[in-house]
Structure 1
Amino acid sequence: MIDLYYWPTPNGHKVTLFLEEAGLPYTIHPVNIGQGEQFTPAFLAISPNNKMPAIVDHRPADGGLPISLFESGAILLYLAEKTGRFLSDDLRTRNVTLEWLFWQMGGLGPMLGQNHHFNRYAPEKIPYAIERYVNETHRLYRVLDQRLRGRAFIAGDDYSIADMAAYPWIVPHETQQMDLAEFPDLKRWFDAIAAREATQRAYAVGAPYRSDTTSAEARKHLFGQR
């Protein structure tokens, strides 16, 4: 059994995408980031960076004590190695998958997160910041669109943890001021993942936890910490 510490954000959705695809049993422990629950001592013992998602695997492959992990990319890699799924054993395909997983962690997520912040959360509209991150979002969409040209998925023919990492960040494309029609290969890929039954289950799991994170109280917890 896996305990998933979760809130329905792009990073949270990455993990439910994997768990639903793999059919692993899990229990959700909601971490309401708009109410500051990510700062509780119990959660910090699992995720010292006070970010979700995090997991605790009570049945690790070595048969030892439970293993806890934070950082969504590390969780995806761990689950792929635990199950032997969504990460190829082929040397070249495996390394391509990891390249694009780290591309998402180091680029797509952080830059689109800044897009979200200045477009949706910032208490004042800063034109330079909005233009900066909308432009960078467009560039990253173009990179992904070009990568998907002639490929079903990011690493090749098979769905992988690279796709699970990237897809949730494309879901709010309208908020990011992106038009998927400009990126035909990315749109084809996006639509194919959206149609998967496991994707639909993963997003349904998060529906009961959705809440407004734009209030002054929520912004204090999300962005006011030193």
Structure 2
Amino acid sequence: MNRRLRTALAVTAVIGSGLLMTACGGGDESSASDSPAASSSQSSTTAAGDGDSSGSGTSKSSGGGAAGSASSDKSGTGGGDASGSGASGDKKGYGQSCGTNDISWSVTSESQAGGYFLIKAQAKSGITCVLPAELPVVAFGSDGTEAAPAEQSAGQPITLRAGVTAYAGVNPKTTKEDGGKELDSLIVSVSNDDPNPESLKVDSYIVDKPIVTSWHTSPADAVPFSG
């Protein structure tokens, strides 16, 4: 073989080797980028990232729900406490028996049934109390003569509050004969053992075997007929 032919073959071999190396390098790059395993790994990584983000969102939502629940519980408890406190906060003295000094007293002179005094009792401002089902105590003069019952039975308890008035009628003289004590005031109290009787000033009158009615809520029922 001559020298020219050998040189041509050598050059051809070198060029072929270069082309082969270039082809191998391109195949490796294509394989690395198109590899199913690499694709799958990238997808898993992306999915995992999305899952974490979603999970984080869910966790935050759950935390918000817990806070809402706690807020709801607190609100409910507060309402219950306020309600309970309202139910147990009765005014001091509500429902107590009336004392003479719990009452604003007044008296008028009436002409019916031969003439009598109409006593009016009203609770003082801010007071609610109960007049017992007993006769009011009405006394006359320095000797403390008391009025007897004008009715055979006592009335019903009366709760005095704003807008409610109780009435009792007093006939100071039930006898037809002349005589008796001349006085100008009535001494009234709710009960015999009340330490604060009230003196009501009236015109001069004669006292002889006086009588008094029970408490009534209507003045027409408090007329003290002597029978």
**TM-score relative to the length of structure 2:** 0.19
Q: Decide which structure has the larger Cα Rg and report it.
A: 2
Which one has a larger percent strand, Structure 1 or Structure 2? 2
Q: Which has the higher contact order (CA 8 A, sep 6+)?
A: 1
**TM-score relative to the length of structure 1:** 0.19
Which one has a larger percent helix, Structure 1 or Structure 2? 1
